[in-house]
Structure 1
């Protein structure tokens, strides 16, 4: 797979993630955030794992269990931090702080752990995208900046960066689809006890089931398969920067689906976000051309 296609694949996965916050608003508010995260991972992970086992596409011999369990743990805690932050701060701020902070954390992690200094292109693209996120939601009316919610969003960003790092270690040794099946099934197992500890009233209603299926299949299974496939061919920091397409998609959905109106400042933020993503995507194409 060329780097350009890898960037596009990650981008498509991020766009699916961008529907998560909007979809979660259709879930009955009586369902605890951790129960939402657990059911999402259970549907996405277990369904895919059963299919892979039936097709005999998983070979557990020499499986990278340490990286797998580390990725699963990061994703499990991410669910709680992310969905709780959305409840406290709203979809907009919760999403933009979590995903907007992830590229910074990812770059720092790669720098300190792998001694890989951020490239000029990555710094430029990330700066454009993060500033774009800030502008996109800077003047939204009626949004409360909840200190605990923002802190949880930052924790979610850090956890997503660690998930991307560990996930890359897994997909370098096994295929993307089996890796997603095992990681998310393990993560779901970690969260299943919380389904019996927290409020789940409304989960088995029509809105609850339909939302759970969408979150599990579209925003988990399909989205993370796309992300993992692309992650095999590009640095995790670049993949995390491309994930900023998530708040961009969320903003566009807020206009198209919810009927919200964006100001000139917000549209400027969208332009910067798109610019940052294009800089990163086109750089992958240029590197490929130079190497030919």
Structure 2
């Protein structure tokens, strides 16, 4: 039952993150990416801090450096590149590029933790990257990548580093709520500092964009980060990252309902990326030993 609950948490987080790509479109149409990211995580951090105080928990200062590192990489780095990317790329493109994250996570895990990739992963790397190439280039003769796609790839790389660093540096003697509040607060302060230094005005968005930002904040921010941190702690970075395959699926389904179905290049590239990730991750479910931070 505990394993099922953990799986449900990471699935829910992935679905929320898939919806984020669609929700970000009206947000960046009205708000500068720096301001959108800062507003989102100032609100999310405030909610998490209130929950933490209600539970009478506190953030231990002895882990300040770990929280700062995780906040800068997983909140600041990812969201800055994410909102910049969503200015010029489509929701489906962004979600499909993000689907490469499990393979990027395994590469980062090898670099930082000397966690050697399996033979399946080595075979999957070129297929996955080829799939992203098809999505980004559109499958046509004109080889041109939008700057938004480059930003989203950078965001996916930042999230890969976050996955691995979370497993390595997340305190095991602090609750997930307190740790998530600390990580979000660090990232929110960094995002706010960049927005202020860049001279970007904080504005009140329309009801449409404001509602989308609120859903991104509470669903794709508070709940998703909390669920994901618990999932990584219970399952490990590599196994939890498998569930990120649901991110593009959720985004593509939402795009269909919005009247923007994926094109042929997106379908083909998506199949290559998701197929490569599923092939590389085969066998994880059969492992009997799953590290836990609790």
Do they superpose with TM above 0.5? yes
Counterparts of 1:237-276 in structure 2, within 5 Å, are 237-260=238-261, 263=264
Which residue is 2:221 aligned to? 220
1:105 matched residue in structure 2: 104
When the two structures are aligned, how many residues end up with a matched partner?
Answer: 285
Q: Shift of residue 214 of structure 1?
A: 0.9
The within-5 A match list for 1:124-143 is none
1:198 is aligned to: 200
1:176 is aligned to: 176
Q: 1:256–1:5: structure 2 CA closer, same or farther, 3 Å change rule?
A: same
Change (3 A) 1:289 1:183: closer
Cα distance in 2 between the residues matched to 1:145 and 1:49: 44
- TM-score computed with the length of structure 1 as normaliser: 0.80
- Gapped runs of 5+ residues in structure 1? none
Distance 1:6 1:140, change over 3 A: farther
| SS of equivalent to 2:259 | coil
Q: CA deviation at 1:274?
A: 6.1
Q: Is the 8 A contact 1:4 1:284 kept in 2?
A: no
User: Which TM-score applies when normalising by structure 2?
Assistant: 0.80
The Cα of 1:285 is off from its aligned counterpart by 3.7
> What secondary structure does 1:87 align onto?
coil
Question: In 2, distance between residues paired with 1:28 and 1:38?
Answer: 12
Tell me the SS of whatever aligns to 1:233.
helix
* 1:183 positional shift: 0.5
Deviations 1:204-260 (A, max 9, x none): 432233222111101111111111111012232333343232122111111123342
Going from structure 1 to structure 2, the CA distance change for 1:83 and 1:4 (only over 3 Å counts) comes to same
* Cα RMSD (Å): 3.4
Deviation for aligned residue 1:188:
0.6
Contact 2:100 2:132 in 1 (8 A): no
Contact 2:67 2:183 in 1 (8 A): yes
SS of equivalent residue, structure 1 residue 89: coil
Offset of 1:192 from its aligned partner?
1.7
Distance 1:27 1:224 in 2: 20
Asked whether the 8 Å contact 1:3–1:285 carries over to 2, the reply is no
Contact map agreement 2:81 2:155 (CA 8 A) in 1 = yes
Alignment of 1:1-292 (within 5 A): 6-27=6-27, 29-60=29-60, 62=62, 64-74=63-73, 75-97=75-97, 99-120=98-119, 145-168=144-167, 169-170=169-170, 172-196=172-196, 197-201=199-203, 203-260=204-261, 263=264, 283-288=283-288
- Asked if 2 retains the 8 angstrom alpha-carbon contact of 1:121 and 1:283, the reply is no
Contact 1:34–1:83, Cα closer than 8 Å, also in 2: yes
Indicate how the Cα distance of structure 1 residues 119 and 174 shifts in structure 2: closer, same or farther if over 3 A, else same.
farther
Is the 8 Å Cα contact of residues 14 and 243 (structure 2) preserved in structure 1? yes
Residues 129 and 274 of structure 1 are in contact (CA less than 8 Å); yes or no, is this contact kept in structure 2?
A: yes
- Decide whether aligned partners of structure 1 residues 16 and 50 sit closer, same or farther in structure 2, where only a CA change above 3 A counts: same
Tell me how far apart the structure 2 counterparts of residues 180 and 127 of structure 1 sit (CA, whole Å).
34
Question: Within 1, Cα distance between the matches of 2:35 and 2:202?
Answer: 7
170-179 vs 37-46, greater mean Cα deviation: 170-179
User: C-alpha offsets along residues 269-290 of structure 1, whole Å, 9 cap, x if unaligned?
Assistant: 6666665676688744422499
